[in-house]
Amino acid sequence: MRSARDCRVTAVTGVYRSLIAGGTRGLGRSIAKQSMRRGIEPVVLGRPRPDRSSTIEIDGEAVRFEPVRIEDDADVSRCIDRFKVTPSLNFRELFYLPGEHLKGRFCDQPEAAVRHMVDVTLFGLMNLVRHFHPMKKKPYRLITVASTTSWRIRPDEAAYGAAKAAAAQFARNIHQEIVKDLPDATSLIVHPGGMRTGFWPHGVDTSMFMDTDVAARLIWEEMEAQDRGQWPALHELHILRGPDGQPILERGPKAPQ
């Protein structure tokens, strides 16, 4: 475990910014709020909007919005190129939250739906890291939001669970490449349980699911503890949903169960 003295991610000078893929709604939007409350400017990536707006409103403030089809590698490359021409952008965090839920008997799912889910949940993360990391000259935090379904066996979420497990494994492995280039970088893999968002299909009772603002605060607090050396540079956090909807925190990798 690193000492607090070695946690130089927080020593970057200038205006801090967080790049949040999937930050227009749900947990991603709550993470953007937590960024703002810490004086860190969020930049949100999301699907192109009909109004072609360059900002979205979060907590009453205009937040920079960058349209991108995250599963399209060329589109991600163009998005990152736009950041390269703005040297003042000092991204200290890269959050990846996009995911497409796919529930039901696997053999009944159309091929197009499975492919799209894997593209958004897994290949989007790979696309973004492949283009984001080479432009970074200073250490940063990579936060990958997976799911408890990445290790909890659910027969009606076979493809979704596989994609989330693969995203978590990619984050574990790519961390070794990141710290080889930027030794003080950190990676956090988050496995949240069910939250009250529009992610769920109509008819699912989310009244006892977790609040996204609470989960986002817990994620930020874990990142800050990681920077202080309380947790290793590669770390996993599980935010389990208690019977009353309150979060239960567990840490470290988990075997499938």
Mean pLDDT confidence for 45-57: 88
Residue 164 · residue 150 · CB < 8 Å: yes
pLDDT at residue 199 in the model: 54
CA distance 200 to 21: 19
pLDDT at 179 over 50: yes
CA distance 241 to 128: 29
Residues 94-139 pLDDT 10s: 999 998 888 889 999 999 999 999 999 999 999 999 999 999 999 9
Residue 1: pLDDT band (50, 70, 90) is: very low
Per-position b or e across 165-185, b if 16+ CB within 10 A of its CB? bbbbebbeebbeebbeebebb
pLDDT at 76 over 80: yes
Domain boundaries, the chain: 13-251
pLDDT at 6 over 80: no
When the pLDDT of each residue in the chain is averaged and rounded to a whole number, the result is 87
Mean pLDDT confidence for 238-255: 89
CA distance 82 to 161: 33
Residue 255: pLDDT band (50, 70, 90) is: very high
Residue 239: pLDDT band (50, 70, 90) is: very high
User: Between 238 and 100, where is the model more confident?
Assistant: 238
pLDDT at residue 196 in the model: 61
Superfamily of domain 13-251: NAD(P)-binding Rossmann-like Domain (3.40.50.720)
Give the three-state DSSP class for 126. Answer: helix
Q: Which amino acid, one-letter code, is at 150?
A: S
Mean pLDDT confidence for 63-85: 93
User: Between 108 and 197, where is the model more confident?
Assistant: 108
CA distance 99 to 90: 26
Residue 150 · residue 167 · CB < 8 Å: yes
pLDDT at 75 over 90: yes
This prediction has a pTM of 0.89
pLDDT at 220 over 90: yes
